[in-house]
């Protein structure tokens, strides 16, 4: 197998880079400086991240291996098989750390007055009490099955927990018994003692009393089991033009739930032959079986947090999105935007001005139309409610609802139905492209003129995530921006993509090429002996064309700062190749989600905010929008924020020339958390 980290390489495999990101998440669970209950969150997030990684990325690699085993990815040249061979031991190594930190967290949990126990840690009286609870509250609700010649192996739902038991009778023939443990009828956390705040997981209770379920059999061995299924479906490849697209997506979601398993997790050791039998039934290779020393689903840790909610010292300090000083709540929002560009920074500032803008537009007689792209929205969405109200008030409302927003399809399908019922014109994405842009256009008639009010963001129109994701929202009445936004919506309405722009960067045809041109401009200045700079803040960097250009820029002497939260396929600091590139990753209380592009030193910097990461799927296979920051005050504000993030020595890790990440420490400098700094600035702005 080729080594993805050969000496002096400047490329890192995408999947291995993602695992390094999830390692940084796990580090926050390990970090004693992180409040205890927040460490529980990071442990659960680590696991849910890994679930999705197997469902999407590992599933995709297995599919590739089956179709074209000699296919090589374009950066490290690894085949699907080589990538899988590198991923699996890396995951086992990380999971060993997860098991260790979980054990430590449970020890500390007891010191805080809450116990999570199994039958080895309780007395006879408690055991008898739990048996009565099992007999009356759980046994009547479970659905056991036995696998035999006349009883086929049952379908196991993805990420659900099952109790599996090896049964035998006098004839010595083994049979498998299986019981679903997630019925959504009984609670996951079973109270053992309210006085002592002692709890047991429902699946452990079921597993313990499983002999009572399979009476007449001898229990040879037992374990909890959890299967993860492939969720990587190419909707465009499967779509039939004769089908209703929304109903097609409904069917596709159902199909995803039954796709092939890509991972099997066990809570206890089972005989090798039994494991082989399970693998055979589910068509899983032995190397995809993982033995865990932690519960197979850590989502219950959020319930533990609720039990400890009365101890605020165990959580991050309370922070509330603040009122933006750029808006006057006593005046109409559109009038204020007409006077000058406005910027909201989430979660430090409230989303309320944007929501008020939509609400006011919905009830403004002069507003002709509202057009918007929706990728992910809240379950109870004030954004969608405002659009529905606008349509009911007789305004033209055009909404592109992206039904292919992975794992949010069902929510988007339901909202699309409600929008249509209210009289909105709904588009379900484009043929061959996801629409990932965050774009809103309000058209208003003022003094016999058409005036555009445009909002361009880096994050979804989701009130819930706006409180925990860092994002940017630009609102402007500049006609040059509005006309190009209208051009984007006109193209979408015709099932087309924009071919040419002047102000906005619009993927798939007018973003990557323009970014490369802007980088070429900095390269030319560096070669001419002038100061040159590139600063980028994104979630992921995988686009080979952009990576190659960054390497070229580094070799030309351009100073480059990259703030990349997740995947980064470029290795910084390699002598003679990327020595002028610095890469940092910030993983902290809030999920870093904003995208900022900077070209040129501070005094002449061209600054953009964008919906697009530098991934090929974003730059060439999605509709994405980046907007130039033309207001000088906002431009300087974003540059200040970028420089603050570069100085973070609390939550930032810096990439080393070997591809590893090293957490920055304050040393002699004062501790600086960019996220806490921005929140304090938001509080201070209100206090003035």
Give me the active site residues, please.
436
- Compute the distance between CA of residue 588 and CA of residue 42 in angstroms, rounded to an integer: 10
The DSSP annotation for 26-57 comes to HHHHH-TTS-HHHHHHHHHHHHHHHHHIIIII
Classify 604 in phi/psi space as left (phi over 0), alpha (psi -120 to 50) or beta: alpha
Which residue bears the tokens 């003679």? Answer: 576
- Compute the distance between CA of residue 436 and CA of residue 28 in angstroms, rounded to an integer: 29
Is 28 strand, coil or helix? helix
| CA angle in degrees (0–180, nearest 5) for 643-646-648 | 115
- Compute the distance between CA of residue 550 and CA of residue 499 in angstroms, rounded to an integer: 25
Per-residue b or e along 620-635, where b marks 16 or more CB atoms closer than 10 Å to that residue's CB: bbbbbbbbbbbbeebb
Query: CA dist 32 to 40, 474, 674, Å?
Result: 12, 38, 20
User: Residue 681: which residues within 8 A CB-CB, separation 6 or more?
Assistant: 348
Count CA atoms within 13 Å of residue 24 on its CB side: 27
Count CA atoms within 13 Å of residue 81 on its CB side: 9
Q: State both tokens at 193.
A: 């003692």
Strand partners, 261: 229
**Local structure of residue 148 (DSSP, 8 states):** S
- Compute the distance between CA of residue 386 and CA of residue 380 in angstroms, rounded to an integer: 12
Torsion angle of alpha carbons 236, 238, 243, 248, nearest 10°?
-80
User: Residue 490: which residues within 8 A CB-CB, separation 6 or more?
Assistant: none
Is 584 strand, coil or helix? strand
Q: Where are the beta strands (DSSP E) in 102-251?
A: 115-116, 145-147, 161-168, 174-180, 189-193, 198-201, 218-229
- Compute the distance between CA of residue 539 and CA of residue 572 in angstroms, rounded to an integer: 16
User: Residue 283: which residues within 8 A CB-CB, separation 6 or more?
Assistant: 260, 261
Q: Which helix (H) or strand (E) holds 90?
A: helix 80-111
| CA angle in degrees (0–180, nearest 5) for 438-535-439 | 10
- Compute the distance between CA of residue 212 and CA of residue 163 in angstroms, rounded to an integer: 13
- Compute the distance between CA of residue 21 and CA of residue 376 in angstroms, rounded to an integer: 23
Per-residue b or e along 644-654, where b marks 16 or more CB atoms closer than 10 Å to that residue's CB: bbbebbbbbbb
Closest C-alpha to 476, from 609, 668, 582: 609
HEC string of 125-137 equals HHHHHHHHHHHHH
């Amino acid at each position: 197998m080729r080594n993805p980290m050969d000496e002096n390489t400047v490329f890192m495999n995408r999947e291995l880079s993602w695992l390094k990101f999830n390692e940084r998440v796990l580090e926050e669970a390990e970090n004693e400086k992180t409040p205890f209950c927040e460490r529980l969150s990071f442990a659960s997030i680590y696991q849910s991240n890994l679930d999705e990684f197997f469902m999407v990325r590992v599933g995709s690699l297995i599919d590739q291996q089956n179709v074209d085993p000699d296919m090589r990815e374009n950066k490290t040249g690894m085949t699907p098989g080589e990538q899988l061979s590198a991923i699996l031991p890396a995951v086992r190594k990380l999971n060993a750390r997860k098991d260790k930190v979980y054990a430590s967290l449970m020890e500390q949990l007891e010191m805080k007055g809450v116990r999570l126990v199994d039958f080895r840690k309780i007395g006879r009286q408690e055991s008898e009490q739990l048996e009565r609870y099992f007999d009356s509250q759980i046994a009547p609700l479970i659905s056991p099955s036995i696998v035999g010649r006349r009883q086929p192996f049952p379908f196991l739902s993805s990420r659900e927990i099952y109790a599996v038991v090896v049964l035998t009778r006098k004839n010595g023939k083994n049979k498998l018994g299986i019981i679903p443990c997630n019925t959504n009828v009984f609670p996951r956390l079973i109270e053992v003692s309210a006085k002592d705040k002692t709890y047991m997981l429902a699946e452990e209770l079921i597993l313990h009393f499983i002999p009572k379920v399979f009476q007449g059999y001898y229990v040879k061995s037992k374990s909890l089991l959890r299967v993860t299924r492939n969720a990587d479906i190419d909707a465009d490849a499967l779509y039939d033009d004769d089908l209703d697209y929304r109903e097609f997506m409904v069917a596709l979601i159902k199909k995803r739930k039954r796709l092939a398993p890509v991972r099997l997790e066990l809570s206890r050791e089972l005989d090798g032959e039994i494991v082989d039998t399970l693998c055979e039934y589910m068509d899983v290779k032995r190397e995809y079986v993982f033995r865990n020393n932690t519960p197979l689903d850590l989502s219950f840790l959020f319930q533990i947090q609720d039990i400890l909610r009365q101890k605020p010292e165990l959580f991050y300090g309370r922070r509330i999105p603040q009122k933006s000083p750029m808006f006057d709540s006593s005046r109409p929002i559109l009038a204020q935007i007409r006077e000058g560009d406005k910027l909201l920074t989430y979660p430090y500032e409230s989303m309320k001005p944007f929501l008020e803008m939509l609400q006011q537009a919905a009830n403004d007689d002069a507003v002709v139309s509202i057009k918007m792209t929706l990728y992910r929205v809240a379950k109870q969405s004030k954004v969608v409610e405002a659009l529905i109200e606008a349509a009911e008030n007789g305004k033209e409302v055009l909404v592109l609802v992206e039904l292919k927003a992975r794992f949010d399809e069902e929510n988007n399908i339901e909202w699309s139905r409600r929008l249509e019922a209210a009289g909105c014109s709904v588009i379900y994405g484009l043929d061959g492209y996801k629409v990932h842009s965050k774009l809103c256009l309000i058209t208003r008639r003022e003094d016999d003129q058409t005036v555009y009010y445009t909002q361009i963001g880096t994050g979804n129109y989701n009130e819930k995530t706006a409180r925990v994701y860092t994002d940017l929202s630009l609102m402007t009445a500049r006609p040059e921006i509005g006309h190009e936004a209208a051009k984007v919506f006109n193209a979408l309405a015709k099932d087309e993509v924009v071919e040419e722009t002047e102000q906005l960067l619009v993927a798939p045809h007018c973003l990557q090429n323009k970014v490369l041109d802007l980088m070429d401009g900095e390269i030319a200045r560096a070669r001419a002996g002038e100061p040159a700079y590139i600063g980028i803040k994104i979630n992921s960097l995988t686009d080979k064309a952009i990576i190659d250009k960054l390497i070229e820029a580094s070799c030309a002497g351009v100073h480059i700062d990259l703030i990349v939260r997740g995947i980064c396929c470029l290795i910084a600091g390699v002598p003679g190749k990327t020595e002028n590139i610095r890469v940092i990753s910030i993983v902290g209380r809030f999920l870093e989600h904003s995208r900022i592009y900077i070209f040129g030193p501070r005094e002449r910097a061209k600054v953009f905010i964008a919906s697009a990461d530098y991934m090929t799927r974003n730059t060439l296979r999605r509709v994405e929008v980046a907007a130039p920051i033309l207001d000088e005050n906002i431009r300087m504000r974003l540059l200040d924020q970028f420089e603050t993030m570069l100085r973070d020595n609390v939550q930032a890790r810096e990439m080393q020339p070997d591809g590893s990440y090293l957490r920055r420490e304050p040393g002699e400098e004062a501790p600086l958390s960019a996220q806490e700094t921005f929140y304090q600035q938001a509080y201070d702005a209100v206090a003035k």
